[in-house]
């Protein structure tokens, strides 16, 4: 147990701020990356960020070439979407209701109460307040408060100001041009049993046939459970793909969507400071900020190149999916892609998180193409996502009067698609697809 000084060589990874920044940039979504660049612009006076103009060239690789990053082809496509020209309903639910009560023969006190009730509606059009509190606030009886609420419920859209789903459906049924008394009875007295598909008990209680209950179910499907939703003005959000995969003459073309990111350069106003810094402190500060910009540009370029490599590897592995459809999606793991492009598995995980790719089959998150493998008779294995597509297809094609049980779906998958899967797995995948059980899918 003597004290002493010893020399020893060792290797360890030091997580510098620059390395931590590069890892973060790799993981950021496009929106998060834009916010990060804005923060860097505020902290670094030398950093200049310019938004790409509409006439800027969108770089596109005709072939995947990681060494010659300058050999990029111009992508010229439609920059606006027809969705941008869709008209929006600018009227709020409250204004729509105010316009209706304006011309009704109501007293001032009634209008004051109904106005308060209108402001008590949530974004779905439901009344979320308390009638006793309303009565106390305006010094009226609870019966009078209920009457004012019923006046509000008589307005359009049908079902507005309901206090629960049952009342919302009833209000809409009672406003139909041809009222359905059976539907009103079922919603008013047997809604829970109806939702749990206990239709035989309902038919027996009301002395009607199962076909009558089925027709009521079809009618209720046409009602609006959220009457105020069409007036909800949350701005529409669109996903811009980070990468494009195109199939041209049987070959894939991978495109990095650089238009999403601004141009990051050194400000001309501060560039002269690099040479004209008078004292050592100023020179050191300017040089430090300049190095930060160089590292930022390098990290952004590394992010784009890694994204390109990963997407290209995915496209090669999932070639059959892009050409023939969902049923040909192969099982794929992060480890396989990481080994192929010679990076760590965590790097692949970061670069595929919240990154989207536009493909011949639609828009997908890159994470979508990674799934576990299930055993097949030929021993090759199939993707769990493909199995879900098979299950969805089988359910869509089944006889709704005799829906298939989970065990029968297992048998079909094994017989027609040579896929070995347990009933428990089919049940799990069916629930993930939001497909009801066979008893709740049955039509009469």
Three-class DSSP category at 420: coil
Which stretch of 175-179, 314-318, 440-444 has the lowest confidence by average pLDDT?
A: 440-444
Radius of gyration of the chain (CA): 31
> pLDDT tens digits, residue range 191-245?
999 988 888 899 999 999 988 999 999 999 999 999 988 886 666 667 889 999 9
Judged on CB neighbours under 10 Å (0-12, 13-18, 19+), 415 is exposed
Q: Which domains does the chain have, with CATH numbers?
A: 17-74+240-366 (no CATH), 93-231 (no CATH), 372-441 (1.10.10.60)
Average pLDDT score, the chain: 81
The alpha carbon of 8 is separated from its chain's Cα centroid by a whole number of angstroms, namely 53
- Cα dihedral 161, 165, 166, 167 in deg (nearest 10): 0
Q: What is the pLDDT, as a whole number, of residue 1?
A: 64
Q: What share of the chain is helix, strand, coil (3-state, %, to 5)?
A: 55, 10, 35
Q: What is the pLDDT, as a whole number, of residue 59?
A: 38
pTM over the 0.85 mark: no
pLDDT band at residue 14 using 50, 70 and 90 as cut-offs: low
Q: What is the pLDDT, as a whole number, of residue 322?
A: 87
Do the Cβ atoms of 374 and 382 come closer than 8 Å?
yes
> pLDDT tens digits, residue range 352-374?
988 999 998 888 999 888 887 66
Buried b (16+ CB within 10 A) or exposed e, 257-281: bbbebbebebeeebeebeeeeeeee
């Amino acid at each position: 147990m003597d004290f002493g000084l010893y020399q020893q060589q060792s290797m360890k990874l030091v997580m510098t701020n620059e390395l931590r920044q590069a890892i973060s940039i790799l993981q950021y979504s496009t929106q998060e990356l834009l916010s990060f660049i804005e923060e860097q612009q505020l902290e670094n006076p030398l950093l200049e960020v310019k938004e790409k103009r509409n006439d800027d060239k969108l770089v596109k690789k005709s072939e995947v070439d990681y060494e010659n990053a300058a050999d990029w082809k111009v992508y010229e496509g439609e920059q606006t979407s027809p969705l941008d020209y869709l008209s929006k309903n600018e009227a709020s639910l409250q204004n729509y209701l105010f316009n209706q009560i304006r011309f009704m023969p109501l007293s001032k006190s009634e209008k004051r109460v109904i106005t308060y009730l209108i402001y008590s509606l949530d974004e779905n059009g439901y009344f979320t307040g308390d009638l006793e509190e309303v009565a106390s606030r305006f010094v009226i009886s609870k019966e009078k408060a209920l009457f004012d609420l019923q006046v509000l419920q008589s307005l359009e859209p049908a079902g507005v100001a309901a206090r629960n789903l049952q009342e919302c459906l009833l209000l809409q049924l009672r406003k139909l041009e041809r009222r359905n008394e059976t539907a009103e009875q079922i919603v008013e007295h047997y809604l829970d049993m109806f939702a749990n598909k206990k239709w035989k008990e309902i038919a027996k209680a009301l002395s009607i046939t199962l076909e009558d209950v089925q027709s009521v179910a079809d009618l209720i499907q046409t009602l609006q459970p959220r009457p105020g939703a069409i007036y909800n003005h949350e701005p529409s959000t669109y996903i811009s793909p980070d990468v494009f995969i195109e199939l041209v003459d049987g070959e894939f073309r991978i495109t990095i969507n650089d238009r999403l990111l601004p141009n990051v350069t050194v400000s001309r106003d501060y560039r002269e400071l690099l040479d004209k810094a008078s004292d050592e402190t100023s020179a050191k500060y300017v040089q430090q900020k300049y190095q930060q910009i160089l590292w930022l540009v390098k990290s952004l370029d590394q992010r784009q190149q890694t994204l390109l490599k990963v997407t290209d590897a995915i496209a090669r592995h999932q070639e059959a999916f892009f050409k023939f459809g969902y049923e040909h999606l192969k099982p794929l793991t992060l480890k396989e892609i990481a080994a192929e492009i010679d990076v760590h598995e965590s790097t692949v995980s970061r670069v595929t998180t919240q990154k989207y790719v536009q493909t011949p089959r639609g828009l997908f998150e890159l994470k979508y193409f990674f799934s576990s493998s299930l055993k097949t008779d030929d021993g090759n294995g199939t993707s769990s996502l493909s199995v879900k597509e098979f299950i969805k297809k089988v359910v869509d094609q089944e006889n709704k009067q005799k829906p298939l049980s989970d065990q029968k779906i297992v048998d079909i998958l094994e017989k027609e698609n040579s896929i070995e899967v347990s009933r428990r797995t089919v049940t799990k995948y069916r629930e993930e697809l939001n497909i009801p059980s066979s008893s709740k899918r049955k039509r009469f």
